[in-house]
Structure 1
Amino acid sequence: MTDALLDAHLVVRRGTFQLDVELRVGRGETVALLGPNGAGKTTALRSLAGLTPLSDGRLSLDDRVLDHPRGRVWTPPEDRPIGVVFQDYLLFPHLSARDNVAFGPRRHGVERRAAHAIADRWLDRVGLAEFGRRKPRGLSGGQAQRVALARALAVDPVLLLLDEPLAALDARTRLETRTELHRHLAAHPGATLLVTHDPLDALVLADRLVIVEHGRVVQEGDAATITARPRTDYVAQLVGLNLYRGHADGHSVDLAGGFTLTSTDSVHGDAYVAFPPAAVALHPHQPNGSPRNTWPAVLADIQRHGDNLRVRLDGPITVSADITPAAATQLDLRPGREIWVAVKATETRAYPAD
């Protein structure tokens, strides 16, 4: 990682919930913070922005300590070199787009004419030069998002925080805005933290992913690392894999309940075994031939998944499979249908749990 601008150990206690997360973001780097609802993503963002004080830990930005409870250091939000784009953008409804973007520089003591010049430059950079006089109610969702981004960047933040920045957009606008946002983040010289629940946003926009569950970091790394070796059910679902934990002895991984999966990978000790739904083949009868992993199952659920169907099967293990509508018709698939499952050992990936 490049020289870390953000170096934080965020500890926030709220009732029975405790966030305890270490975050480091380098110069020019975009890190995505992902996790299920209630994982602590928003709490982490609010503590960085100064909207929620730390209970313990330490927050340093560009070698400046902003929050350190034990050292009795606290910096209010307005004095932090941080720009924030909130999920609902929170543009000032009574101000024009130009005045919204100029608000930050004005708060930092920039004279009105100079602040408006800064706003004009940023509106031009986000492609909204002709919309400066419009108020938020006269902007589309994508335009409001770009004004919010311009407002955050107009103060030259050392750290840019993005809270679900594309969640409020429809699918088409989201695609276009994601591309624009990627361009702006690539040009941002500071550090960027993107809080999202959308894996596509994270994969497209971020250099590195940090996965949080129950207030703790459970996995972090680049997209290739995360997708190749998920370590929790949430991460496996995020990247679309079937994931199981067991005890390995060479090519065999023994799972709970006495079921064993075979892999071409050789592992010893606690291990994970993973495979994609597309690797799962379904048969009306017990198959013959090469598959090393076969077992009977009962179809529990079937749903459309893109151009194919995703089926969930119960048995010695619960597994998801992707099949074509034609195959589903041929197999007469319906909830309660008994069927055989096959997964080739070459399609599985086994790796140590530690």
Structure 2
Amino acid sequence: MTLLDANLVVDRGAFRLDLPLHAAPGETVALLGPNGAGKTTALRALAGLEALGGGHVRLDGRDLDRPADRTWVPAERRRIGVVFQDYLLFPHLSALDNVAFGPRRRGARRADARAAAAAWLGRVGLEELAHRRPGRLSGGQAQRVALARALAVEPTLLLLDEPLAALDARTRLDTRAELHRHLAEHAGAAVLVTHDPIDALMLADRLIVVEDGRAVQTGDAEAITARPRTDYVARLVGLNLYRGRAAGHTVHLEGGRELTAADPLDGDAFAAFAPTAVALYRDRPDGSPRNTWHATVSGVHRHGDNLRVQLDGPLRAAADVTPASAAHLGLGPGQRVWAAVKATEIRVYPA
């Protein structure tokens, strides 16, 4: 069953968002992409804060926005809850009254709205802070109040715009786990906007990668991390990615370079390998591996327990080496090295 069925078309000058989007009951979909990709615009269009120029938004069998039929449902009449990036809690209201605001706007009596708000604050573990105003809450506490406020209206669709971006690293870790629990308990659909791949991978059932207003890749975490289709996604998952034309075991890249892979393929193809698969040498390696090239080190920085080496040359790539290997090779910007990748380390798949 499809609970959310949307095709979001929004024009802003030279920028156009054209994004098909659907979600099932109980499903969390993450819109992942760089700044300026159109993720927040998509969320605002779903919430009714941005009018569509084309396409449609249909939720639980009801049209909310369909320009072709002049159908438009205002934001306050949509069964949608929103957690904004900056939470946007009312500073003059207590946590309790912030959460009660939604039910009151929907016609609930004051006592009933406050009782529902108290119950939601209990569910997010903040019943003891019900009478505090936002200025006296920590970032994690404010995020939970914002989530309770969004859920208190019993939304069919929950929208979350970078809900963890304002938190420090430790608070983010704890709050992410708690948010995951609440999303799992939510019977409706949820759409999460983020540029953080960890948030997307940990919180969402399905990912939609958005670049320049369009979906460039869709799938679960395993599918997207295994077969990235753009440089942006490859960088997120830490792979070197190239596009070319495969003929058997050889992938012909632009500029005349070739990569040899263990598995054969024919046609337009992507070739990907991990930075850990790249071996670096002072001199050309013995045995002349098929995938060998002369490269120039353009940068070195720490990456976990290893060092990530950026390589320029006929094949731009990233390589991971141990600090001991980097010291032995004397790696630094401008250093010339030989790079090699075994054919068995290269994954090739259709473009």
TM-score (norm 1): 0.98
Assess if the C-alpha contact under 8 Å between 2:3 and 2:61 holds in 1: yes
Structure 1 residue runs of 4 or more that deviate by more than 6 Å after TM superposition: none
2: distance between equivalents of 1:345 and 1:199?
28
CA shift, 1:290, in A, is: 7.5
Q: Distance in 1 between matches of 2:224 and 2:288?
A: 30
**CA distances 1:274-301 after superposition (whole Å, capped 9, x unpaired):** 0111111111111123843111111011
Q: For residues 7-49 of structure 1, what are the alpha-carbon distances to aligned partners after superposition, in whole Å with 9 as ceiling and x for unaligned?
A: 0000001111100000001110000001111110011000000
Q: Is the 8 A contact 1:281 1:342 kept in 2?
A: yes
2:49 to 42, 48, 51: 51
Give the corresponding residue for 1:9: 7
Matched with 1:88 is 86
Amino acid aligned to 2:158? L
Alignment of 1:1-354 (within 5 A): 3-289=1-287, 291-353=289-351
Count of residues in Structure 1 that have an aligned counterpart in Structure 2: 351
Alpha-carbon contact 1:265-1:351 (below 8 Å) kept? no
Q: CA RMSD in A?
A: 0.8
**Distance of 1:287 and 1:186 partners within structure 2:** 52
Unaligned residue ranges in structure 1 (runs of 5+): none
Q: Structure 2 length normalisation: TM-score?
A: 0.99
Q: Distance in 2 between matches of 1:265 and 1:176?
A: 42
| Secondary structure at the counterpart of residue 65 of structure 1 | strand
Q: Is there any run of 5+ residues in structure 2 with no aligned partner, and where? A: none
CA–CA distance in 2 between the matches of 1:295 and 1:221? 34
Instruction: Look up the SS of the partner of 2:333 in the other structure.
Output: coil
CA distance in 2, matches of 1:51, 1:103: 19
1:312, CA displacement in angstroms? 0.6
> Is the Cα contact below 8 Å between 1:7 and 1:60 reproduced in 2?
yes
What percentage of residue pairs aligned between the two structures are identical? 68
Whole-Å separation in 2 of the counterparts to 1:251 and 1:94: 66
How far apart are residue 243 of structure 1 and its match? 0.2
Deviation at 1:326, TM superposition (A): 1.1
Contact 2:293 2:315 in 1 (8 A): no
- Using the alignment, how far apart are the partners of 1:349 and 1:109 within structure 2? 57
Give, in whole Å, the separation in 2 of the partners of 1:161 and 1:255: 41
Give the secondary structure class of the aligned counterpart of 1:89. Answer: coil
Quote the offset at 1:131 in angstroms.
0.4
Q: Deviations over 1:311-348 (max 9, x none)?
A: 11111110001111111001100111110001111111
Deviation track 1:159-209 (CA, whole Å, cap 9, x = no partner) reads 000000000000000000000000000000000000000000000000000
Q: Which moved more, 1:194-203 or 1:321-330?
A: 321-330
Post-superposition shift, 1:305? 1.2
The amino acid across from 1:272 in the alignment is F
Check conservation: 1:279, 1:321, Cα contact below 8 A.
yes
Contact 1:290 1:344 in 2 (8 A): no
Q: Distance in 2 between matches of 1:166 and 1:204?
A: 12
In structure 2, C-alpha distance between the alignment counterparts of 1:54 and 1:264, rounded to whole Å: 48
The question of whether the paired residues in 1 share the 8 Å contact of 2:124 and 2:148 is answered with yes
Contact 2:26 2:186 (C-alpha < 8 Å) held by counterparts: yes
- CA distance in structure 2 between the partners assigned to 1:179 and 1:166 by the alignment: 11
Give the 3-state SS of the residue equivalent to 2:3 in structure 1: strand
Measure, in 1, the Cα distance between the counterparts of 2:219 and 2:64: 26
Please state whether the residue corresponding to 1:218 is helix, strand or coil: strand
Q: Distance in 1 between matches of 2:306 and 2:157?
A: 42
Contact 1:30-1:194 within 8 A present in 2 as well: yes
